[in-house]
Structure 1
Amino acid sequence: MKQSLQDIELIQIPKIHNRQGNLSVIEGNTIPFEIRRVYYLYDVPSNAERYGHAHKAQQKFLVALSGSFEVVLKDGTDEMVFLLNKPNFGLLIAPGNWREIRNFSSGAVCLVLASEVYDESDYIRDFDEFTSFKDRIS
């Protein structure tokens, strides 16, 4: 099945607010996959871009825990840019979409929840290879 940018979703994470601060929880059906891996990016220089790549099968959910950054998504035809800057919103990225992360603010932390454990064979790290992959599955 061909994945497209229409398969991308900005999801609001439930937020519990009181005078002592906010609490957001990702559990149950907050995101549509079981979390198999968690990692986070931090101390990224503001002029750096992170890992342009796509996944063949893995889903990702990105949250700006602190600060802000942009997520650039491409499906081989179209491009969308999402600014993540609130810790109670996350970006669900379906497999078959190229992603780059850029314009990190000072102190930004990007939390990534993944549907699978690390598997190098699921990664596409070259954009030309990605467009060939997209052509084969369409």
Structure 2
Amino acid sequence: MPLNDCRIIELPKITDPRGNLTFVEGGNHVPFDFRRAYYLYDVPGGSDRGAHAHRNLHQFVIAMSGSFDVVLDDGHDRRRFHMNRSYYGLYVCPMMWRTLDNFSSGAVCLVLASEHYDPADYIRDHDEFLRLAGQRRQAVE
């Protein structure tokens, strides 16, 4: 999948003087049904997370609090997304190398995932990812 398939999606925001409310529905706001949710927090300043790709997993990344950047690389193009609003989410396609960095103090990153945890779905070596991404691109052309 090309990097252009990954995109920011605005979620519903119900404003109220008592506090705002945002909700996420799988298959509606997110282009997949999610089976797992996890969150990153207390990330030390200067640290990064991710640095891997998934063969089949779809993800939706939300900055619940604070801010951070998500850098996506499809093996050909690279793009940085600054996440700092809890009513925006980033759809991340399969076969995207992703790195999360630039975490603000107190940042909380929520990730909705299309599948349960499967270590076999991870690609942790960037050279292997580039090889596999090149093979996929050639098969499509």
TM range (shorter): over 0.9
Look up the match of 2:70: 71
| Cα separation, 1, equivalents of 2:86 and 2:102 | 17
Residue 77 (structure 1) shift: 1.2
Residue 45 (structure 1) shift: 0.9
| Cα separation, 1, equivalents of 2:86 and 2:20 | 10
- Verify: 1:4 aligned to 2:32, yes or no: no
Aligned AA (2:111): V
| Cα separation, 2, equivalents of 1:47 and 1:61 | 23
Look up the match of 1:53: 52
Aligned residues: 136
| Cα separation, 2, equivalents of 1:74 and 1:51 | 12
Q: Give percent identity, aligned residues only.
A: 51
4+ long deviations beyond 4 Å: none
Look up the match of 1:123: 122
| Cα separation, 2, equivalents of 1:43 and 1:10 | 24
| Cα separation, 2, equivalents of 1:19 and 1:136 | 52
Residue 51 (structure 1) shift: 2.0
TM-score (norm 1): 0.96
Residue 84 (structure 1) shift: 0.1
| Cα separation, 2, equivalents of 1:80 and 1:137 | 20
Look up the match of 1:108: 107
2:20 aligned counterpart, secondary structure? strand
Residue 32 (structure 1) shift: 1.0
| Cα separation, 2, equivalents of 1:92 and 1:22 | 22
Structure 2: tracts of 5 or more residues without a match: none
Aligned AA (2:20): N
| Cα separation, 1, equivalents of 2:2 and 2:126 | 15
Residue 4 (structure 1) shift: 1.3
Look up the match of 2:33: 34
Structure 1: tracts of 5 or more residues without a match: none
CA offsets per residue over residues 61-103 of structure 1, 9 Å max, x none?
0000000000000011111000000000000000011000001
